[in-house]
Amino acid sequence: MLDQKLIRENPTSVEKSLSLRGKDFNVFPIHKLTIEKKAIDIEISNLQSESKKLSKLIGLEIGKSLNNNSAELNNLKKEGNEYRMKISELEEKKRKLDNQIHKEISSLPNFPSKDAPTGKDESDNVQIKTWGDPLKKDHLKSHWEIGESLNLFDSSKTTKISKSRFITLIGNGAKLERALINFMLDIHSNNGYLELMPPALVNSESLQGSGQLPKFSNESFKCSNDDLWLSPTAEVPITAFNKNEIIDPSLLPIKYVAYSPCFRREAGSYGRDTRGLIRLHQFNKVELYWFSNPSKSLEAHKSITSDAESILKKLNLPFRLVDICTGDLGFSSSRTFDLEVWLPSSKSYREISSCSNCLDFQARRSSIRTKIDKKNQYIHTLNGSGLAIGRTMAAILENGQQSDGSVKIPDALVPYFGSNFIKTP
RNA sequence: GGAGAGGUGGCUGAGUGGUCGAAAGCGAACGACUCGAAAUCGUUUAAUAGGUAACUAUUCGUGGGUUCGAAUCCCACCCUCUCCGCCA
């Protein structure tokens, strides 16, 4: 959430910053509401002050005289009543304004960082570096072909269980998934991250707090009988974990790593990536998350990104690092680095981790602060996949495929998986 | 799901209509004593919003209501705990 005060005091600069996203935003209607609200605030405060004084006076008068029903006293009470009417009228107005302002501001995305490349869409993203040698040969199999021939997963049988875009992992496929989760959790938790295993169901407030609501309710699955949603990413429960807290600055940064299943409706993406493990309604992910001192989030962003990178390096998977342009940034993010893994079958890089610095955007929505120089300040939140498990498996299958149809398991993963190759059953 | 109890400052806990933003204790900070420390004694110590400040307002789980005035009364909701039932 953007700072209401900023919109009230400098709407033009707010619009200018937001327009970096490649769309026009009109914040003047909100600006007007905030001015109106401010005036009402002051008026209410004045009236309350008067009415409080009067109440005290009445209390004193009653204490002095035994007559609770004197004409004088009744007049004072009547006066007090008038205050009450006026105040409650104004409060009603204010409540409406507050709701409206809150609703409007919640729908505004975060400011893009000035360091992010300016651009309109995906095509303007900037490649920062590549790592490893991308496997480029003809007649390479896709991971779903490999998965089928090695019997690692089955999507068509899974439609009987739920519907398309779900998967059932089988045998070595299931084992590989499990190995990857443990592998990633171990590396990160040995690297200073505290492991969390949060609930998969989250309430509306939590989704609001990290920015998925109110704008993207179409993207999540909702439970019909409760105010609970299937969490689209561990970012949601982790943000909510420290909601409404003032964190001692000496504890910062707080670094969490969490494994969680993630559920996304993928509305609007039918027809894309319909096969394999790339785009599913349910997938597993190991998520990295930092609560950072606001003055240190730029360095934190580099660290979290390189922590995510380290997994790809250990697994020896070629990847590139991409600086997401202003027009392609997620709603809550001010700057995002994507890690894209090489998928030889499509001869392209695919997103496997998205590392974002949300600055104080989520912290303001969730009210997470720290005390610096005796003043409360919103902390900065950062998140990054470390990594998406399904896509990592796809990359291992495709990059590790051998001419005899087997798949070589990256050395670092062997202790977790238990063997060097996945062979035909 | 049934029955009961409860939610007050950093913590424990008192407070059932009027200077209550809230006793007391613990904790913490500062000072005295001490070579230093412990102990003891004294003083201070809630948060948030607005304002340069003086100050003003709000906050006793949340939201409404009654009243000139609510931590205190009324209504609804949320959460926690205990017992019973069910259950991986």
A133 and A75 in a common domain = no
Q: Could you tell me the distance in Å between the CA of residue A76 and the C1' of nucleotide B18?
A: 15
Is A152 inside a domain boundary? yes
**A227 and A368 inside one domain:** yes
Give the start-end residues of each E strand in A113-196.
Answer: 126-131, 153-154, 168-169, 194-196
**A113 within a domain of the structure (yes/no):** no
Which nucleotide comes closest to A80 if you measure CA to C1'? B68
Residue type at A318? P
Please tell me whether the interface predicted TM-score (ipTM) of this complex is above 0.90.
Answer: no
Q: Give the CA radius of gyration of chain A.
A: 27
Say yes or no: A149 and A258 in one domain.
Answer: yes
Residue in this structure with the two tokens 């409650």, named with its chain if needed: A88
Question: Across the strands, what pairs with A285?
Answer: A260, A388
Q: Is A290 helix (H, G, I), strand (E, B) or coil?
A: strand
Residue type, A207: L
CA of A58 to C1' of B16 (A): 21
- Which pair of tokens denotes residue A388? 């998406």
- A312 and A369 in a single domain? The answer is yes
**Nearest nucleotide over every DNA/RNA strand to the A87 CA, judged by C1':** B57
Q: Are residues A271 and A399 in the same domain?
A: yes
Quote the CA–CA distance of A201 and A115 in Å, as a whole number.
35
Interatomic CA–C1' length for residue A373 and nucleotide B57, angstroms: 24
Amino acid at A369: R
The H-assigned helical ranges of A192-344 are: 204-210, 235-241, 297-314
Nearest nucleotide by C1' position to the A369 CA atom:
B48
**Residues whose CB is below 7 A of strand B:** A 5, 44-46, 48-49, 51-56, 58-59, 62-63, 76-77, 80-81, 83-84, 88, 95, 246, 371, 376
Same domain, A59 and A200: no
Q: Which domain holds residue A306?
A: 122-422
Q: Straight-line distance from CA A88 to C1' B81, in Å?
A: 37
- Which nt sits closest to A76, CA to C1'? B68
Quote the tokens at residue A97: 């304004």
d(CA A422, CA A425): 9
Domain boundary among A47, A75, A106: A106
How many whole angstroms separate alpha carbon A159 and alpha carbon A276?
13
In a domain, A182, yes or no: yes
CATH assignment of the domain containing A72: 1.10.287.40
Return the pLDDT at A67.
Answer: 61
In a domain, A281, yes or no: yes
pLDDT for the residue A373 = 75
Q: Which nucleotide is nearest to A203 (CA to C1')?
A: B78
Residue A30, domain member (yes or no): yes
pTM of the model: 0.91
Specify whether A91 is located in the same domain as A205: no
In a domain, residue A236? The reply is yes
Given this model, what pLDDT does residue A65 score? 67
| Distance of C1' in B28 from CA in A369, Å | 21
How much is the pLDDT for A68? 60
Last residue of a domain, one of A72, A106, A140: A106
Nearest nt by C1' to A95 Cα: B63
Which pLDDT value is given to residue A333? 96
A62: nearest Cα among A178, A70, A276, A181: A70
User: Could you tell me if A287 and A233 are in contact, meaning their C-beta atoms sit under 8 angstroms apart?
Assistant: yes
Of the residues A73, A106, A139, which one is the last residue of a structural domain? A106
Enter the DSSP assignment of A345: G
CA of A238 to C1' of B57 (A): 34
A117 in a structural domain: no
In this structure, the answer to whether residues A27 and A101 fall within a common structural domain is: yes
Q: Is position A115 within any domain?
A: no
Q: Are A379 and A360 in contact (CB under 8 A)?
A: yes
Question: What's the CATH number where A237 sits?
Answer: 3.30.930.10
For residue A392, give the nearest of A279, A315, A320, A324 by alpha carbon. A315
Nearest Cα neighbor of A158 from A175, A140, A182, A174 is A174
Long-range own/partner contacts, residues A404-409 (CB < 8 A, 24 or more apart): A405/A146, A405/A149, A405/A150, A406/A150, A407/A146, A407/A150, A409/A176
Give percent helix, percent strand, percent coil of chain A, each to the nearest 5: 45, 20, 35
Tell me the C-alpha distance between A294 and A382, whole Å: 11
**Residue ranges of chain A whose pLDDT lies below 50:** none
Q: How far is the CA of A412 from the C1' of B5 (A)?
A: 55
Whether A127 and A73 map to the same domain: the answer is no
Count of domains observed in chain A: 2
Instruction: Write the CA distances from A273 to A269, A277, A281, A378, integer angstroms.
Output: 8, 8, 12, 39
Distance between the alpha carbon (CA) of A325 and the C1' atom of B41, Å: 66
Contact A184, A317 (CB under 8 A): no
Q: What is the pLDDT of residues A177-198, one digit of tens each?
A: 999 999 999 999 999 999 999 9
Q: Which nucleotides of B are covered by protein (CB under 7 A)?
A: 18-19, 47-50, 56-58, 64-65, 67-69
Q: Are A135 and A48 members of one domain? A: no
A94 and A214 belong to one structural domain: no
* C-alpha–C-alpha distance, residues A11 and A234, integer Å: 33
Pair (A196, A273) in one structural domain = yes
Q: What confidence tens digit (pLDDT) does each residue in A41-73 have?
A: 999 999 999 999 898 888 888 777 656 667 787
Q: Which nucleotide is nearest to A59 (CA to C1')?
A: B18
Protein CA at A200 to nucleotide C1' at B87, angstroms: 20
What is the number of other CB atoms lying within 10 angstroms of the CB of residue A15? Answer: 16
